[in-house]
A = this chain, B = another copy of it.
């Protein structure tokens, strides 16, 4: 449906359709598909205005991440501004530059950064935009293994958990975008690693593909403490917590003296405005536990080393990365919603366009 607009010698700006996923309005609880809507029929001119410093990209892969829920809730206290109702959803993506008024980015460049849930986006380089250097890594991995989730695992494990060889490490949501890497990094560090996940298929992947020492399906356990005692008869040194709630409460009771808990996410909490109470806080004292919340964005000085390490691990086949790939921009809302019911197996990505 591309239509020639003019015929000057500088290029061929075109007016094309740009399907978008719009954010409808603030939510309570977890997102539903009806909190977003597909807007078709809008047009975009494939040209960046001189002096705008903007970059026009074609989006190839979009990332579904649990933190995006936080932007769908109206809160002044969040660490990231909320979405604006009626606007396009924003998230991490891999894109190809079509046109650019920024001298650092040229047409054809592959980039990763914050972009829109749409076919084409105008972005600025302050949107955490990076040029993709490692062309031997699958493109979509730049929003996973080498992107925000990978760096969350890396910074959280090494900088927050103070890991020691031989430590007993527990990871929840262990087959997810972050958890699967925490477990593999912990194994490479010489730790004993157990993961929890929400289906027997995920448990199988943890044990047989990702190299976890053990794993359990929390939905099949009537007593989380019994499950943890079975997997950790000597207790837990490090709990990398992606879920919060009942699993955090259970893990507190099973921690060892001087244990560390990295609080990374609370995906189990269906309503962040009315969360479960954590009752076993006394364990913090009796076991001298350090519990720390963190954001990967506080550790960006380590990003170059992270990329170097992860690329090396991947190339040496020391680390694998599992993705759940949905095709088509239209599939994005359901995929995002699915994060909160555990529908995805591995990192949830949307393929918007083949290169």
How far is B289's CA from A298's CA once the two chains are assembled, in angstroms? 12
Query: Is A279 in contact with chain B by the CB < 8 A criterion?
Result: yes
| Residue contact B288 to A294, C-beta cutoff 8 Å | yes
Interface check A18, CB cutoff 8 A: no
A287–B79 Cα gap in the complex (Å)? 7
A290 nearest CB neighbor, chain B only? B292
Question: Please, which residues of chain B bring their CB within 8 A of the CB of A275?
Answer: 279-282
A163-171, A216-224, A261-269 - interface stretch: A261-269
Contacts of A285 in B (CB 8 A): 79, 263-266, 293-295
Any B CB within 8 A of the CB of A248: yes
Interface string of A292-320 (1 = CB under 8 A from B): 11110010000000000000000000000
Question: Which residue in chain B gives the minimum CB-CB distance to A160?
Answer: B290
Contact B277–A282 (Cβ < 8 Å) = no
How many A residues, CB 8 Å from partner?
A: 36
| Chain B residue contacts of A265, Cβ below 8 A | 285
Q: Which residues of chain B have C-beta atoms less than 8 A from A70's C-beta?
A: 286
Q: Could you tell me which residues of chain A, from 69 to 116, have a CB within 8 Å of some CB in chain B?
A: 70, 77-79
Chain B positions within 8 Å of A31 at CB level: none
Q: Contacts A288-B293, A288-B294: A279 and B282 contacting too (C-beta < 8 A)?
A: no
24 A-B pairs with CB atoms under 8 Å apart are: A77-B253, A244-B281, A263-B285, A266-B282, A269-B282, A272-B282, A274-B279, A275-B280, A276-B277, A276-B279, A277-B278, A278-B279, A284-B291, A284-B293, A285-B293, A285-B295, A286-B293, A286-B295, A287-B293, A288-B292, A288-B294, A288-B295, A289-B292, A289-B293
